[in-house]
Every structure is written in structure tokens, then in C-alpha cells.
Structure 1
Amino acid sequence: MFVSDLRKEFYDVIKGKRVLVLVHFDVDGICASKILQSLFRTDHILYTVVPVQKRKDLVNVYENHAEQIKHIILINCGGCIDVVDLLQPADDIIFFIADNHRPLDICNIYSGEQVRILSKLGDDEQVPAFSDVFREDESDEEEEESDEEGGKRPRFDESVLEKRMERRRWEQQRHKIVFDYTQFSYYGNSTAVLMFDLAWKLSKDSNELLWWAITGATDMLMCEKTEQDKYLLMTASLQNHVSRLNHKTQDDQPLDCLRITFEKELQLALYRHCSLVESMRHSLYPATSLRLWTLKGEKRLCELLAEMGLPLSQCKQKYSGMDMTLRNELQSLLEAKVEKYGLGNLLFASFTLTHGFRSKYSAMDYVYAASALLESTDKEKTSADAFLDVADSLSMNKLSVLEKGIEAAKQQLEAVYRQVQTFLDMNQIISAGPFLYATVIEGTPDARFFSAPQCLSLLARFTLRAHVSISRSKKSRSLPLVITTPDVRSSETNTCLVCGIPPVSEESPRNFFGKAFEQAAEKTASKSELEFFDTNVMRLSVDDRSKFFDALISLLS
């Protein structure tokens, strides 16, 4: 069931209770949990936060805590699976689900009091009617079937036969309706923004909580989990809160206060923390638009900088060391040249954060840093350690952790760029018919970065756009991409990660690979693990990879 009033039907219900919060391994989910934890501390609500990455983690954590806790909050996990069927909870346990994954499971939507969904449905989300997927006479049919199995003589009169035929027709129709509803995976609105909305209604909002909501919304955009139109609507709402909480002038505020500003931002990765040339090379949009992995692309970049009046020596040193005048004019100079160089979408609406005399950070900086920390390549760190590092990086008093995340993000972006260049130079992006296919070769030093879902998805997006930018075939724009990489982080040997993304021509980020992977794995009896909440990523045995892809080609042809 859906919760219409977050304050009355959710927050007031858990007040005074002990709560278990299960958080998915993504930046939006962690930002949402930070906002929720802030509210809990204010109202002295006892809580336990546990990160979960897969379905089996959800089951294990539930089994460990079910006896002590009766109220469980699932953030960005659990919405797309029947949690009651998966966890088999006692009747007095209540699940509150705030999940941006779509489509939501029908059983969760039509559950009674036990499953309560906090996130709202979008206007374009069509949920099947209750009567189309559930029948009131199901129990009667089951009893009749059990009677026949028990040896009782069945009554073959016309009414029974008619009922059975009618039921078969209904089941066929139900199967079609459910398949149409679940065939594409996509995302709803940011959960962090939803939690900030709750904080605002409780009159407990602040600039810090607002920044976490902004970071969550920016993560949705950067990971291409939301359309541009939806992002603009979110930013319009967040901009109102920015104006409300930052209405005082700088002269009226303490020097060390937190200040958020809404402004145009460049789609350049971490450009305030490295050189302009490095940032443009490692940013998906300018790198693929200018084809910076080629000599011609390098020359074109030098032409752009020359026309802007930026000396190459200035552009190759760290941004903070650039001439102050050039730094202040950088955005306007780039804006004047974007049309000529095909960089029309280089600027977008975003937010920046300043804290006293310290450096200015953009929401993109926070997302890059948090994502890199979350999928750290440090073998000594557990997933729980990485989760805590991300939570610390979002805290305003632990900027040293954020800086570590920024340095880790630079390494991650460099690894992605190198791998994309290798794919293109070695012609390793192959057309398999209904989709494009690329493989990170076993033994590649950078494979340690890609054996994590979010970095692998970034590599896939960068690879597909780079291929489309140089391909002479118009068909390449309408082809999706499947990419595989050795799973060097897994305890199991001889496994790989598989990730599928929709084609460049698709404006909506709806992804059919989750269902396709499931059917191909089932058809070939491949040794696979479809446990991730982002269903377009799966783990597969290398031995089964060949037959799995044959089945996938057959399925999508």
C-alpha cells in the first residue's frame, strides 16, 4: 500500500520504536539515510543502519535482527521484490519501503498494512489493476485441485470445465499484463529528495540536509537514472529551498557558515580539483563529443582553448593555480564556443557548496567522490568500511575524507578513459546483431576498478557514446551495449560481471536487460547470480558465458 502522508503514516508510527534501516549501496540511498538519521537523532529514535548490496544480504540482515525489531525501513532496495514472500516475516513486522527502483512489485503495492511504500508513483507509471492480477476465487480453485490429488472423484460437468477454461484464459492474460509491466527496469524520483521533503514538513530541515538531497538528485542525473526533464523539476523544487535557507547576504552570516548557491555548472569531471585538460579528457560528454582519444581530437581541443584565449600552460596546471581572471571567465568563455564545437549540453543547472574560506565544491564533486569511495579498490576495506567512508565524506566536518574520495575518483576516471581508448584502438566493440558487445580482457590491471556495478555502468556508458561518435553506421545509435569484465573482487574464481545499457537514441533510461538476462540464464541453465537490485548487472560463470550470449542474441533478435 502507498503512504499518502509521510508524517502521520510513517514518521509518527515509528516514533518511540526501535527501527532497522537497510540501505542500498548507492549515493542517493546513503544521502537519504543520512537525512533520516539526522531526524532520528533529533527525536531520540533508536535505530540500526545496515548496508545491503544484494538480495541475499537483505535476507541475512533480516534474519539477524527480526527478533529485536518490528519496524524495518528499506531505502533503495526491496521495492521490486515481494518482501513478504522473500523474508517470510511475522504478522507484526512492518516494512516501510522508500525505493527509487522501478517497477515496484505488485504484491508490495497491493499489500495490506505489512508493506507500506513511501515513494510516490510517477505520472507515466502504469500499475495493473488489482482485479487483473489477483482473483478472489483462487483459494477455491486450489482446494478443488487438492481434492482431485487426494483421490476424490472430480465432477466433470460443464460448469467446472467452463470455470477451468475461464481461469486458464485469465492466467494467460495475467501473465501478459505482468510481463508488460515488469519487462523494463527504470528509476523513479530521488529518495534523498523524498526524505528531505519529510524533514521540511517536520520543520527540521537545514542546509546540511538540503545538500544531501541535492547530492542524491545529482547522482540520479549523473548515473543516467532520470531524464533531463525530471531532473529540472527536482532542481526547481530544490532551488526554492535553497532560496529559503540561504536568503541572508554574506555580510549577515558567520564566516564559517554553510552556503549553497544555485548556478550553471560545467559538465566537467572534478575540474576544480585537477587541470582543465585532464578534466575534459576524462569527462564523458566533452571527451566523446571531441573524440579526445584521437590526434584529431587533441588538435580540436587545443583549437578550442586557443579560441577561448586560454594558454595551454594554464590549462595543464591545476585549476586552483590558474590565473584568477581566467578562472572567473572560464564558464562564459566556454559558453561562447559550445555551439561551434558541438558541446551544446556542456552547461546544466546545478548547485555548489561553500564552507567558510574553504574550497568550493559542486554537487558533481560529491557524487564522484562518494561513488569512488563506495567502490574502493583497497583490498583491506570491507563493504561496510566503504559505506562508512561515504557517510563520512558527506559530513561537512570531515572534508579530508571527501578529498580522499576526489583523489580516488580521479584514478577511477583515468582507468575508465584508458579502457575506452583500448576498446577503440583494438576494435574490441563488436556488433552481435541485436546489441553491441565488449569484454575487458582477463589480466587487465584496471579490471579491479570495473568489477563493481556502478563503475562498470560508467565504463559501459562511456564506451557506447565513444563508439557511436566514431561509427559510420547510423544503426549504432539504436543498438544497446553489453559489457563484461573479470570479477576480481569476488571470492568465487572464474566469474565475470555482465552489464547491459540501453542505446544512445533512447531518451528514457528504461532498460530491458534485467528481464533478458534472467530469461537467457534460465534458458541455458547458466551458473549465474541475479542478486543485484540494479537488475541490468549480473554475475556469470566464465564457462557459461558463450552459451549465455548465444541465448541472449537469440532472445533479442
Structure 2
Amino acid sequence: MFVKNLQNDFYNVIHGKQCLILVNFDVDAICASKILQTLFKNDNVVYTLVPIQGVKDIVRKYCFNTFQIEYVILINCGGTIDVIELLQPEENVTFFILDSHRPYDLANIYNEKQVQILGDPALEEDIPEYNDVYKDDSSDEDEENISDEEHESNQAKRRRLTEAKILKRKEIRQWEEKRNNILFNYTQYSYYGKSSAVVVYEMTWQMSRDNLDMVWWAIIGSTEQAILSKAESSTCVLESGNLQGHVSRLSRTRGGNVDVQQLSAIKITYDKDLQLALYRHWSVADSIRHSIPTAVSLRLWSLKGEQRLRELLAEMGLPLAQSKQQFTAMDLNLRQEFKEMVEKLADKYNVSSIVGASFTLQYGYRFKYCASDIVYAMLAVLESTSKDRLPQLCFLEASDCLLRTKKEVLDKGIERAKNMLVHIYKTAKNVLELKQVTNAGTFLYITLSEGILHSHLFSHPHALLMLAQFTLKAYVESSRNKRAAGWPLVASAIFNEQEGTCLIVGIPPVCEEQPKSLFGRAFEQAAKNTNSILEPDYFDATIARLKIEDRPKFFDALAALLV
């Protein structure tokens, strides 16, 4: 069941109660939980926060932490699965689901007792009517019972009764066929809805409890959706405009005068900026090379691309030595003129997409970060799990990147983000140079071999997703085939060599304005057709694990399905 009024039907309900918060491993979920935790701390609400990595993990963590808990909050997890069937809770337990994954499971939507979805059903797409997918069979059973009791010897009446039963079965069969078509159309595509951090922030605004820190966390959650192409660009622009309105409101007092004391502590600006990854904390040359828009437009994986990059820097009047220095160490005049330099040459070098608007947070003299800087840092920290770094530690460090008092944690995260982007670029370059992008007819796929450098990085979904997006855009840019823009891509990398499993992710074609992917259902059907061992353990249906030995026949079945 949907909950529209979050203050009355959600926050006021859990206020003063002990809650369990299950948070998915993604930036948006962490930002949403951070806003919620701030409210809870101010109201002295007792809660337990547990990070969740997948479907199996949510079952294990729920069973371990459910003692004397009546209210469970699921952030970016649980919306696409039947939580009641999966978790088998007590009847007094209520689940509040705040999930940006779509589509929602219908069992959650039509459960009026234990499941509350935080959101407006009017904003959702094509939710089937209850009577179209659920049917009460009691009436049919009653009719059959009555027919048996009124058994008559008259042959004509028996025949009429038989015909009535045949017609009834035909109606049921037609209803089931219609239901299957409706369910297929509803679950055919996997996509993302509104940022969970933005949803929670809007609740705090309606409660008149919001502040600049909260709106900044909502901005970061929304920015993650833009960077990972979870939402279409027009939606991201509209959301940025709404958040900018909140920033302007919070930066002023009720009388309309600027609150000087507040602005001296924290200042958020929304202005024209360059969409270059981490350029304020990197060198100009490295930032241009490892940002997807510029790397693709300049074709930097080729020798001609490197020459084109040197020409761009020379035409900007930026000496090679300066371009290789840390941005903060460049000459002051060059730093101040850098944006204008790029804007003037953006159209000539086909990199106009890197000129846009973005949010920047300034706190004191040394703390100045763009929203995308923090997103990249948090993604890199989340993806840095290893034998020595437990997932819980990575989750806490990523959460600390949001705190202004933890600047050293954020700076370490930015260094990790640089390494992540470098390895993504190098791997994509190798894949393109060695022509390892395979055309299966209806889609493209790449498989990363076991021996590649830093292969452990791509055993994590976000890094593999970013590699897939980089590779697909680069392939389309360099391909002579006009149909290339309409092909989706599947990327696969080793997940656990000892267990013989690989990670697969599927992304939609670059021509799609709305980033909806059909790979969720396609993966499931291909595994069923080939008896492959598929583990859909992620809340995003387009990410799954597969036995390496099953991968060749799985891709063949996928190609047959997508004809």
C-alpha cells in the first residue's frame, strides 16, 4: 500500500518506537539514511542501522536483528521483491519501503496491513488494477458445490451444467492469459524512480525540519542517479531546479536577508561548471582523459585521440606542464580562465556535453567540493571491499564522506576514486583496442578475462556498470554501423574464482532517452531455457551472478530471446 503523507502515516507512526533500518549498498540509500538518522537523533528515536548487500543478505540480517522490532524501514531494497513471502515476519511487524528500484512487486503494492510504500502511486507507471491480477476463487468453488448438491438425473440439465463448466473454465483461462500479458508488460523493464534521498528530504521540508546539510545530502543522492545514468537527463535537470529552490530558501532568513552567520559556516552554490570528473582534485589532463564524455568524444583510446587531446590543450593556451600539475597548483590566471577556455572550444571538439550546471559545497576555506566529487569518492569506497576490508567498514567510510568534519576520509575516498576511474579507462581502452566487444546480433557483450590487472575491482557492480557504460558509448562513437546506437550491452567479469562464478550487468542502448533495461526478465528467461545457475541476488534485476561454465550457452540463449 502506498503512503502519500509521509509525516502523518510514516514518521508520526514510528516516532518514539524502536526501528530497524536496512540500507542498500549505494550512494542514494546512504544519503537517505543520513537524513533520516538526523531526524531520529533530534527526536531521540532508538534505531538499529544495518547495511544490506543483496537478497540473501537481507534475509540473514533481518532474522538476526528482528528481536522486539515492530517497524522495519527498507531503503533502496525490498521494493521489487515480496518482502512478506521472503522474510516471513510476525503479524505485528510493519515494513516501510523507500526504494528507487522499479517496478514495485505487486504483492507489496496491494498488501494493506504490513507493507507501506513511501511514495505517490500517481507518479508510478502502469500499475495493474487489483482485479486484473488477483482473482477470488471462492465464488467458483461455491458454484461447483451447489451444482453437485443439485445433481439431477435429467440428461439435458446435466449437459447444460457441463457446458456451463466448460464456459467457466474458458473464461478463467482467458483471464489468466490476460493476467500474464499484463504482468509481463508491467515487469518487462527494470528502471529507477525518484531518488530516495530526495523523497526523505521533501518529507523533512514538509515538516519544517530541513537544513542545508540535509538538502546537500539530497543533492548527492540525485547526482548519483545522473552519474550512473539511472534517470534521464531531463528529469535530472528538473530535480536540480527543485533542489536549487530549496537551497535558495534555506540560505535566507524569513525576512529575506542573508543569514551571514549561516553562510559563513556552509555555502551551497548552483552554477555553470564543467562536468569533468574530480578536476579540482586532479590534473586537467587526467580529468579530461578519465571523464566519459571527453574520453568518448575525443576517442582517447586511440593514438589520434591522444593527439587531439594535446591539440585541445594547446589551443586553450594551457602549457603541457601546467595541464599535468594538480589543478590547485596551476597558475591562478589559468585556473580562473579554465572554464571559459573549455567553453570556447567545446563545440569544435564535440565536447559540449561537459558544460553544464552543478552544485558545490563550501565550508570554510579548505572544504570546497562539487557534488559529483563526493559521489565518485563514495562509490570508490563502497567498491573497495576485500578480505582485509569488510563491507561494513566500507559502508561506514562512505557514510563518513558526507560529513564536513571528516575531510580526511573524503580526501582518501577521492584518491580511491581516481584509481577506480584510471582502471576503468585502461580496461575499456584494452577492450576496444583488442576488439573484444562481441556482436551477438541483437546486443553486444564483453567478458573480462581472469588475468586482467585489478580484476577484483570489476567484481563489484558499480565499477562494472561504469565500465559497461564507457565501453558502449565508445563503441557506438567509433562504429561505422548505424544500428550500433540501438544495441544494449552486457558486461561480465569474474566474481569469485574459487566458486567459479561471474558477475553480469546489462545496460540499455545509448539511443534510449529513458534508461529502461529489459535485461532483468531476459536474464531470468535465458537461465531457465538453458538450466543455467543464475543468482539474481541484487535488488537491480539487471545485475546477477552466473556460473562461468554456463556463460557461453547463457549468451546464446540471450541472443535467441532478443531477436
TM-score, normalising length: structure 1: 0.95
| Number of the residue aligned with 2:18 | 18
Structure 1: distance between partners of 2:227 and 2:441: 29
Identity %: 49
CA distance 1:257–1:164, change in 2 (3 Å): same
Residue 285 (str. 1) matches residue 300 (str. 2):
no
Return the letter of the residue paired with 2:452: T
Return the letter of the residue paired with 1:119: G
| Number of the residue aligned with 1:201 | 206
Deviation at 1:250, TM superposition (A): 8.7
Determine which of 521, 529, 536 is the counterpart of 2:535. Answer: 529
Structure 2: distance between partners of 1:440 and 1:206: 45
Deviation at 1:23, TM superposition (A): 0.6
Deviation at 1:143, TM superposition (A): 8.3
| Number of the residue aligned with 2:154 | none
Residue 40 (str. 1) matches residue 40 (str. 2):
yes
* 2:192–2:230 Cα contact (<8 Å) kept: yes
Q: Deviations over 1:381-426 (max 9, x none)?
A: 1111111111111111101111111011111101001101101111
| Number of the residue aligned with 1:545 | 551
Structure 1: distance between partners of 2:504 and 2:85: 27
CA distance 1:89–1:314, change in 2 (3 Å): same
| Number of the residue aligned with 1:518 | 524
CA distance 1:353–1:472, change in 2 (3 Å): same
Determine which of 217, 220, 225 is the counterpart of 1:215. Answer: 220
Return the letter of the residue paired with 1:6: L
Instruction: Identify the range of structure 1 (113-122 vs 343-352) with the bigger mean alpha-carbon deviation.
Output: 113-122
Structure 2: distance between partners of 1:141 and 1:350: 60
User: Secondary structure of 2:353's match?
Assistant: coil
| Number of the residue aligned with 2:251 | 246
Residue 55 (str. 1) matches residue 58 (str. 2):
no
Return the letter of the residue paired with 1:508: Q
Structure 2: distance between partners of 1:122 and 1:368: 33
Deviation at 1:306, TM superposition (A): 1.9
| Number of the residue aligned with 1:487 | 495
| Number of the residue aligned with 1:6 | 6
Structure 1 unaligned segments of length 5 or more: list them: none
Deviation at 1:66, TM superposition (A): 2.8
| Number of the residue aligned with 1:424 | 432
Structure 1: distance between partners of 2:354 and 2:221: 21
* 1:255–1:356 Cα contact (<8 Å) kept: no
Instruction: Identify the range of structure 1 (341-350 vs 23-32) with the bigger mean alpha-carbon deviation.
Output: 341-350
| Number of the residue aligned with 2:304 | 296
* Aligned residues between the structures: 550
Structure 2: distance between partners of 1:357 and 1:321: 16
Structure 2: distance between partners of 1:400 and 1:380: 20
User: Secondary structure of 2:209's match?
Assistant: coil
Return the letter of the residue paired with 2:524: E
Measured on the aligned residues, the alpha-carbon RMSD in Å equals 2.1
Return the letter of the residue paired with 1:138: D
| Number of the residue aligned with 1:458 | 466
Structure 1: distance between partners of 2:368 and 2:432: 36
Return the letter of the residue paired with 1:221: A
| Number of the residue aligned with 2:361 | 353
Residue 412 (str. 1) matches residue 411 (str. 2):
no
CA distance 1:140–1:83, change in 2 (3 Å): farther
Q: Deviations over 1:65-85 (max 9, x none)?
A: 333101011101111111112
Residue 332 (str. 1) matches residue 340 (str. 2):
yes
User: Secondary structure of 2:3's match?
Assistant: coil
Larger Rg: 2
Deviation at 1:261, TM superposition (A): 0.6
* 1:97–1:118 Cα contact (<8 Å) kept: yes
User: Secondary structure of 1:500's match?
Assistant: strand
Residue 224 (str. 1) matches residue 229 (str. 2):
yes
| Number of the residue aligned with 2:27 | 27
Instruction: Identify the range of structure 1 (359-368 vs 116-125) with the bigger mean alpha-carbon deviation.
Output: 116-125
Deviation at 1:552, TM superposition (A): 0.8
Determine which of 434, 449, 457 is the counterpart of 1:449. Answer: 457
CA distance 1:329–1:188, change in 2 (3 Å): same
Structure 1: distance between partners of 2:250 and 2:263: 16
User: Secondary structure of 2:97's match?
Assistant: strand
Return the letter of the residue paired with 1:538: A
Return the letter of the residue paired with 2:137: E
Return the letter of the residue paired with 1:192: A
Structure 2 unaligned segments of length 5 or more: list them: 152-157
Structure 2: distance between partners of 1:539 and 1:526: 11
Residue 125 (str. 1) matches residue 125 (str. 2):
yes
Structure 1: distance between partners of 2:460 and 2:345: 37
Structure 2: distance between partners of 1:348 and 1:145: 67
CA distance 1:211–1:447, change in 2 (3 Å): same
CA distance 1:255–1:123, change in 2 (3 Å): closer
Structure 2: distance between partners of 1:143 and 1:302: 81
Deviation at 1:175, TM superposition (A): 0.4
Q: Deviations over 1:115-173 (max 9, x none)?
A: 111023464611111111112x324557899999xxx9xx9633222222111110110
Return the letter of the residue paired with 1:56: K
| Number of the residue aligned with 1:182 | 187
Q: Deviations over 1:79-121 (max 9, x none)?
A: 1111112222222111111100011111211111311110234
| Number of the residue aligned with 2:272 | 264
Instruction: Identify the range of structure 1 (139-148 vs 102-111) with the bigger mean alpha-carbon deviation.
Output: 139-148
Structure 1: distance between partners of 2:39 and 2:175: 47
Instruction: Identify the range of structure 1 (231-240 vs 293-302) with the bigger mean alpha-carbon deviation.
Output: 293-302
Q: Deviations over 1:24-71 (max 9, x none)?
A: 111000000000000000111100111112111111122223331010
Deviation at 1:343, TM superposition (A): 1.3
Residue 477 (str. 1) matches residue 485 (str. 2):
yes
* 1:40–1:46 Cα contact (<8 Å) kept: yes
Q: Deviations over 1:232-256 (max 9, x none)?
A: 1111111011111223899933686
| Number of the residue aligned with 1:366 | 374
User: Secondary structure of 1:345's match?
Assistant: helix
Structure 1: distance between partners of 2:122 and 2:316: 43
Deviation at 1:209, TM superposition (A): 1.1
Return the letter of the residue paired with 1:292: L
* 2:222–2:239 Cα contact (<8 Å) kept: yes
Instruction: Identify the range of structure 1 (35-44 vs 298-307) with the bigger mean alpha-carbon deviation.
Output: 298-307
CA distance 1:377–1:93, change in 2 (3 Å): closer
Structure 1: distance between partners of 2:263 and 2:17: 39
Q: Deviations over 1:355-401 (max 9, x none)?
A: 10114200000000000000105431111111111111111110111
* 2:4–2:119 Cα contact (<8 Å) kept: no
Structure 2: distance between partners of 1:496 and 1:485: 5
Q: Deviations over 1:318-360 (max 9, x none)?
A: 0000111111111122111111111121122210011101142
* 1:2–1:120 Cα contact (<8 Å) kept: yes
| Number of the residue aligned with 2:82 | 82
User: Secondary structure of 2:2's match?
Assistant: coil
* 1:256–1:357 Cα contact (<8 Å) kept: no
